[in-house]
Structure 1
Amino acid sequence: MMPLRSSLSCVAALAVLLVACGDDGRANTSATAGSSVSTISGSTGETQSPTSSTGGLTDASSEPVSSSEPPTTSGSTTDAPTSSSTSGASTTDATDSGVSASTGTTAVGPEGCKQVDFLFVIDNSVSMENEQTALTMAFPGFIDTIKNTLPTSDYHIMVADTDAEGRCAPGICTHSTCQAQMKYACKDIFSECDTTRGAGVVHPAGEFASNMPCDFDPGKRYLLGEDLALTSNFQCAAKVGTAGNGSERPMDGMVEAVSPALLAPGACNEGFLRDAAILVVTFISDDANVEDMNTAQQTYDAIVAAKGGDVDKIVMLGLIPGDVGCGGGGKHWADMIALFGPRGIKGSVCAPEFNTFFQDAVNTILDTCVINPG
């Protein structure tokens, strides 16, 4: 790990996220340029230019997860450029980064956070196939950059979906999205947590899903940073498929994922959220409609409450439609992101790739880590 000094070099590079068009027959749209990224001021809603870098991630070499077996290859990492901090922390030259010239490895320094909890909330409606594939391909580069930038490798990584209720269950499997893998999603082999929105995904099923139990540690619905198969296991879970209900509710999903009900002893997400960790939430959806039951303010309040009222421990990343360059709608999501101030970042869900979005976001994640020493 890279030692962090009071003067920091913010190194950035990141991966992707995804979502497609809504579930009401809207057509997919694609941007012709890289992802549009904006940091939003919580007090005024004014868009600010984020700190960005020009190098960093390359496309991951791994193939997207198939319906029968997740990939096992991991993406490569390129050297990330030096850029200025978005939170006012001073920077040093890249030569002070602590990277070993002979091995390319980094040593963990005494400064910064000691734990990071990553929550990915992924739209699993019928329009999401391409976006889920893009996310799984981008993840290896993102996590490699995080490992080479943050002063800790103690991560929890959990995937949740936006499903209010699935289309597929024993006795109700007439929808086309239920037919994959000999109606795998219709078998009576799933636990209650497998069909609960906000619960960590470990057994995605339906069309374009992994259609298999992912290889998580027994009893856990989240991955650990030390997992030797971290990339392939994340890719398995992130292929949540397209059999989710057409009512796409990412704000509800994230609120429920960190709710006392799901974090309680014996509950689905027990152990995921830690008091000392910073929380990085990434959500992706393209729905032009307002389906969430929670408002922007209610979502913000619930996420901050889950972190003991400390908003400075939260980074909120959203790939959404609307004023970031594609489609309509998404204002309620943009409003929620804006409430997190400089640690709320929005990007275009229609971007052809999400690497640029995550590259820019790494600076904010690092800054948040620096001001929250463990």
Structure 2
Amino acid sequence: MLAAAAGCTAHPTTASGDLSAGTGGTATAGASDASTALPPSPPYDLPLPPVPACDAVDVSLVVDPKGPYFDADSRIALGDFLDTLTERTGATVRVLAGPARPELPLATCPLPLGDDADGPVFVWGRDFVPNPAARDVLDCVLDQMLELPDAADGEAAMFSGLLFPILERPDWPSEDAVALSILLAAGDDEEANMYARSGLAGEAYVRLAGGGDRRRVAVLAVGKDADELPMFAHTASERSEYAEGADLAEILEDFTDAAEATCRDHDLPPPPPPPSGCTGIDVLFVIDGSYSMLDEQNALRGVDGPPVFAEFTDVLLAELDEVESIHVGVVSSQPGDVSFHTHMDQPEVPPSPATDCGLDPAVPYLVAPSPTFAEDFACIAATKANTEEYTAKNAADALATAPTGFLRDDSVVFVVMLTDEDTQEWLEGVTRLEVRDTLLEAVGGRLDRLYVLSVHGDPGTFEAPKTVCGGPYGTAVPARRLTDIVWSLREQGSTSDVCAGDLAGTFDDVLAEVVRTCESFVPEG
């Protein structure tokens, strides 16, 4: 077995020690004929040479010139991280470093290991061996950043500093490389424009640097009191991290395992689904109740056509044999309206017998299957609200304060937000990260238990952002903050363009994701 494992051909021997010479005859052990002598045994006890964990790792380093990252200790910490990455993965590690000011030129320094002398990309090491000259190149690059005109002035464009070189350079990152990015900011990304948002930037990085595969990317974002940077890291991949603190060496050391694992595991097949699954689905709707949403509400409720959501629940129940029931609650996007609706046209119209949807006040949600589910949902899904909209915050707060019995331990949670505006809780200083944290806390911190769909104005992509759209239901503004929140949930969140005017198609598209979430969920205990 040993010879076969080493790629050699095993020759059978007889019990008396004879060695088979093939079909042409036999040879006796100890014969003097050299042609029949046993070959010398290979030195099987020698260790095999190490095999790289992946072929290549391309590291994008974006540094805010206003940040505290140019001192000797920070430079040593960056060099130690890249040395360790090379020594532990064996990959060809390349680096492209630039300032968080994409309008400023990238540094050109003497490049080791025969790289393009006119380019900013340099090889840190390969075959488990760092190049000793690489640290000098990194020092040169950082020095040139500080010498750029007005380098420390202006806003820190962390996302553009990362993505512009990827868009402009066909060689970066290489197609076969694992892509890492290290973003070192004094505070946060400060662009605040229509494209440099955490959601659009995160999606673009995964698509452009990782070929759409989150297993091939990892981000380390370092900042202070940030919202954009941690949301970007959440969007990029499960192994990405956001950190704050003065000890860059400790931060980079903590990130090393994630970086190595991204290289090692980037092409592993996904694990098989567990032999469990949910037995219930708890659905929360957050419906924009402003007047401009009347057509969208009517489509959802089935006023002028088939009852879109009622049909969706029928299909879900047919697809998932183990699901016993579906709970459905509704709130609006009006600030503070997080109590489940039991009457039509809440919260603007006070509850009365004329608007009563027939729900038990002690159980303010629907349970499907039910012979009257379509009619009951059409009643509570009719909302009327003002034009100030806290759509995402209401979703999180409504789950966090859900009525007793709505959220079940063995259920998955499906949140649907429907709006033609962006979420506006920032008016009260509420960050996207706080909303995301509240959503996860409401489901016990288990992202695998949650799936969020937001139907809103399409913000486009980082390279091609969109403005106001129009469609069968009217106009909608690009919901960039909602997109940031939903896309930060990675595979557990999706968005759909409300201007497409096809709610039935939207629910058809998301069906497989809700089914996947249910089938892969393993309840606690």
TM over 0.5, shorter chain: yes
Query: Distance between the aligned counterparts of 1:130 and 1:357, measured in 2?
Result: 16
Deviation at 1:373, TM superposition (A): 3.9
Matching of residue 255 in structure 1 with residue 255 in structure 2 = no
Query: Distance between the aligned counterparts of 1:88 and 1:229, measured in 2?
Result: 41
Q: Aligned residue for 1:115?
A: 280
Which SS does the other structure have where 2:451 is aligned?
A: strand
Matching of residue 198 in structure 1 with residue 368 in structure 2 = no
When structure 1 is superposed on structure 2, of 196-205 and 359-368 the one drifting more is 196-205
Matching of residue 307 in structure 1 with residue 443 in structure 2 = yes
Query: Distance between the aligned counterparts of 2:285 and 2:367, measured in 1?
Result: 14
Which SS does the other structure have where 1:235 is aligned?
A: helix
Q: How many pairs were matched up?
A: 240
Deviations 1:100-125 (A, max 9, x none): xxxxxxxxxx8421111100100011
Q: Is the contact between residue 322 and residue 329 of structure 1 (CA under 8 Å) also seen in structure 2?
A: yes
Q: Is the contact between residue 329 and residue 340 of structure 2 (CA under 8 Å) also seen in structure 1?
A: yes
Q: Aligned residue for 2:358?
A: 215
Q: CA RMSD in A?
A: 3.1
Q: Is the contact between residue 390 and residue 425 of structure 2 (CA under 8 Å) also seen in structure 1?
A: yes
Q: Aligned residue for 2:454?
A: 318
Matching of residue 128 in structure 1 with residue 271 in structure 2 = no
Matching of residue 353 in structure 1 with residue 487 in structure 2 = no
Pairing partner for 1:224 from 344, 359, 367: 367
Which SS does the other structure have where 2:202 is aligned?
A: coil
Q: Aligned residue for 2:315?
A: 145
AA paired with 1:197?
A: D
Deviation at 1:88, TM superposition (A): 5.6
Deviations 1:115-168 (A, max 9, x none): 11100100011211111001112122211111111231322110111112xxxx
Q: Label 1:359 to 1:289 Cα distance change in 2 as closer, same or farther (>3 A).
A: closer
Query: Distance between the aligned counterparts of 2:342 and 2:318, measured in 1?
Result: 27
Query: Distance between the aligned counterparts of 1:124 and 1:256, measured in 2?
Result: 17
Q: Label 1:122 to 1:373 Cα distance change in 2 as closer, same or farther (>3 A).
A: same
Query: Distance between the aligned counterparts of 1:256 and 1:228, measured in 2?
Result: 30
Deviation at 1:289, TM superposition (A): 6.8
Q: Label 1:124 to 1:41 Cα distance change in 2 as closer, same or farther (>3 A).
A: closer
| CA radius of gyration, larger in | 2
Q: Aligned residue for 1:100?
A: none
Matching of residue 296 in structure 1 with residue 432 in structure 2 = yes
AA paired with 1:213?
A: D
Among all aligned residue pairs of Structure 1 and Structure 2, give the percentage whose two residues are the same amino acid.
25
Query: Distance between the aligned counterparts of 1:342 and 1:257, measured in 2?
Result: 22
Query: Distance between the aligned counterparts of 2:271 and 2:297, measured in 1?
Result: 34
Query: Distance between the aligned counterparts of 2:298 and 2:442, measured in 1?
Result: 30
1:264-343, aligned counterparts within 5 Å?
269-288=403-422, 290-292=424-426, 293=428, 294-324=430-460, 326=469, 327-343=476-492
Q: Aligned residue for 1:369?
A: 518
Q: Is the contact between residue 217 and residue 223 of structure 1 (CA under 8 Å) also seen in structure 2?
A: no
Q: Aligned residue for 1:81?
A: none
AA paired with 1:132?
A: Q
Query: Distance between the aligned counterparts of 1:149 and 1:281, measured in 2?
Result: 19
Question: What TM-score do you get using the length of structure 1 for normalisation?
Answer: 0.58
Q: Is the contact between residue 393 and residue 425 of structure 2 (CA under 8 Å) also seen in structure 1?
A: no
Q: Aligned residue for 2:106?
A: none
The structure showing larger relative contact order (alpha-carbon pairs under 8 Å, at least 6 residues apart) is: 1
Q: Aligned residue for 1:98?
A: none
**Bigger share in strand:** 2
1:46-195, aligned counterparts within 5 Å?
46=204, 111-137=276-302, 138-151=308-321, 152-164=323-335
Deviations 1:45-86 (A, max 9, x none): 248799xxxxxxxxxxxxxxxxxxxxxxxxxxxxxxxxxxxx
Q: Label 1:89 to 1:317 Cα distance change in 2 as closer, same or farther (>3 A).
A: farther
Which SS does the other structure have where 2:491 is aligned?
A: helix
Deviation at 1:275, TM superposition (A): 2.6
Deviation at 1:352, TM superposition (A): 1.7
Deviation at 1:235, TM superposition (A): 0.8
Which SS does the other structure have where 1:367 is aligned?
A: helix
AA paired with 2:455?
A: L
Deviation at 1:271, TM superposition (A): 2.0
Give unpaired runs (5+ residues) of structure 2: 1-197, 213-268, 303-307, 461-465, 470-475
